[in-house]
Amino acid sequence: MMPDDLMEVNIADVSITNVGFALFFKPVGSTSPKVVPIFIGPLETYSISSALDGITPPRPNTHDLMINIFKQMEARLLHVVINDIIGNIFYARIVIQHEDRILEIDARPSDSVALAIRSGCPIFMHEKVYRDAAVIIGEEGEAAETGEKPIISDENQVEDRTDLERLQEQLQRALENENYEDAARIRDRIRDFKQEN
């Protein structure tokens, strides 16, 4: 039986953003504009995108290999759970049934999702993770934090936009220099700024 605080999510989009590649998750059946973006590397993006598109590589990649190992061991991937976010890092677990045992294994969300797509199992997210990380994608692809209007469409926030624009310029420079760690930190400062103002 699944805990009450889990919601099933699906991948609403896989795309490149101003801070790199991202998976956008949305609760199944939801009409809300809120999504949870999780930023991933280019190799993981390729693995997930190719699985979504039904492309089978001529030789198994790491995720295909893991699925093949599960099959040979007669194990079954039941589901994956994106279960926590600490700072800007998401955490996940894969849940496997092997004979009469249920095993939960810590994993990166990108690997968990790549395996879930290949096995056809559901992806779940803790409600707290959704509440803490969901954003509304506004005009021109800008992400506004939950509960906030997109800053670019609010003329009453002109004074606040000066500091925000400065942070966004720093973010752009970090991205141009491919300094993704700094970009992630600046993105978090932008999020905190929007929550405070």
Q: How far apart are CA 54 and CA 64, in angstroms?
A: 12
pTM of the model: 0.69
The answer to whether residue 49 is domain-embedded is yes
Q: Of 119, 136, 153, which residue is a domain's last?
A: 136
What is the chain's pLDDT, residue by residue, as a tens digit (197 residues)? 566 789 999 999 998 877 778 999 999 999 888 999 999 988 899 999 999 988 888 899 999 999 999 999 999 999 999 999 988 899 999 999 999 999 999 999 999 999 999 999 999 999 999 999 999 875 434 444 433 322 222 223 333 345 677 777 777 776 666 666 677 777 777 777 777 76
Q: Which domain holds residue 63?
A: 6-136
Cα(12)–Cα(28) distance, rounded to whole angstroms?
10
Residues 129, 85 contacting (CB under 8 angstroms) = yes
d(CA 53, CA 18) in angstroms, rounded, equals: 24
In a domain, 13, yes or no: yes
